[in-house]
């Protein structure tokens, strides 16, 4: 139990589907992140929310849409994905004062996404 | 562009061996260097380093940072099969636009 919970753990979706990944953190942190991990590539930072405001999105395609309704919950809405979007999507959180310090970033167990 | 390079990319050893994993970096406005262990699921945090020359230790694992030469090493002594994993190095950098840049990882395999 990492204090960061992701659902679903596995998701298979068609290219025309709309689905969402959910993340919840129980650590009292004020910054949350979405990362993508593909085979043979480093972890890629997709989105960061600090104090519920998005601060970085690293030019992620618009078919990925994040939502952070409060400091404990983070969603990643998925629509019209491509097969190359199949990957492990990791949610993480950290504690920062005002802005995310990133001193220690805690990960969830990930959501395995397969796009067919 | 910020870079984090880990070496070797993979390593196979026998139980009981000692291994040293390397991480070098080039970033703007360095804040911290972190080591993670990743097995089949999410990375688990090992160490955070912010100051040069101060060794952090946890059991058989230890790590040290050299901010002058821009690298860190992760040592594992008396390796066990349970140490088999990908070890990720990440560097936190930036001021108002903080980010965490990961290396590609070192795949360590410890054979009995």
Q: What is the pLDDT of residues A13-32, one digit of tens each?
A: 998 889 999 999 998 988 88
Of A13, A6, A2, A14, nearest to A74 by C-alpha is A6
Contact list, B101 vs chain A (CB under 8 Å) = 42
Considering only residues 81 to 100 of chain A, which have any Cβ-Cβ distance to chain B shorter than 8 Å?
A: 90, 99-100
B67: Cβ contacts below 8 Å, ≥ 6 apart:
B30, B51, B52
Say yes or no to pLDDT of A1 above 80: no
**Comparison of pLDDT for A62 and A100, the residue scoring more:** A62
The pLDDT value given to residue A97: 40
The pLDDT value given to residue B39: 81
Averaged pLDDT for residues A80-86: 93
Q: Which residues of chain B have pLDDT under 50?
A: none
Of B105, B89, B73, B97, nearest to B33 by C-alpha is B89
Q: Which of A4, A43, A109 to probe the B interface (max B CBs under 10 A)?
A: A43
The pLDDT value given to residue A93: 86
CB A2 to CB B99 under 8 A? no
Q: Is A42 on the interface with B (CB under 8 A)?
A: yes
Tokens of A63: 């078919």
Say yes or no to pLDDT of A12 above 90: yes
Say yes or no to pLDDT of A43 above 50: yes
Mean pLDDT of chain B: 89
The pLDDT value given to residue A58: 62
Nearest CA in chain B to A101: B98
Rounded to whole angstroms, how far apart are CA atoms A108 and A103? 17
Nearest CA in chain A to B90: A43
What is the band of A82 on the pLDDT scale with cuts at 50, 70, 90?
Answer: very high
Nearest CA in chain A to B35: A104
Contact list, B102 vs chain A (CB under 8 Å) = 42-43
How many CA atoms does the CB half-sphere of A29 hold within 13 Å? 30
Buried b or exposed e, range B10-30, using 16+ CB within 10 angstroms: ebebeeeeebebebbbebeeb
What is the band of A102 on the pLDDT scale with cuts at 50, 70, 90?
Answer: very low
Residues B21 and B104: beta-carbon distance below 8 Å: no
Mean pLDDT of chain A: 84
What is the band of A66 on the pLDDT scale with cuts at 50, 70, 90?
Answer: very high
The pLDDT value given to residue B96: 53
Say yes or no to pLDDT of A98 above 50: no
Q: Which of A102, A105, A107, A109 to probe the B interface (max B CBs under 10 A)?
A: A102
The pLDDT value given to residue B46: 86
CB A100 to CB B98 under 8 A? yes
């Amino acid at each position: 139990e990492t204090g960061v919970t992701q659902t679903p753990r596995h998701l298979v979706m068609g290219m025309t589907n709309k689905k969402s990944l959910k993340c919840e953190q129980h650590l009292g942190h004020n910054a949350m992140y979405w990362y993508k991990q593909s085979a043979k590539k480093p972890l890629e930072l997709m989105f960061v929310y600090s104090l519920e405001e998005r601060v970085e999105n690293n030019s992620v395609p618009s078919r990925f849409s994040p939502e952070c309704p409060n400091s404990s919950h983070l969603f990643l809405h998925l629509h019209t994905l491509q097969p190359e979007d199949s990957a492990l999507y990791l949610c993480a959180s950290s504690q920062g004062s005002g802005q995310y310090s990133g001193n220690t970033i805690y990960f969830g167990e990930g959501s395995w996404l397969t796009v067919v | 562009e910020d870079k984090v390079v880990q070496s070797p990319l993979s390593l196979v050893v026998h139980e009981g061996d000692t291994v040293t994993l390397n991480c070098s970096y080039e970033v703007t406005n360095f804040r911290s260097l972190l080591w993670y262990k990743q097995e089949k699921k999410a990375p688990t945090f090992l160490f955070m380093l912010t100051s040069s020359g101060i060794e952090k230790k946890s059991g058989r694992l230890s790590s040290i940072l050299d901010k002058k030469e821009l690298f860190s090493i992760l040592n594992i002594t008396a390796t066990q099969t349970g140490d088999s994993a990908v070890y990720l190095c990440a560097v936190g950098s930036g001021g108002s636009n903080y980010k965490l840049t990961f290396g590609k990882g070192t795949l360590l395999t410890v054979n009995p």
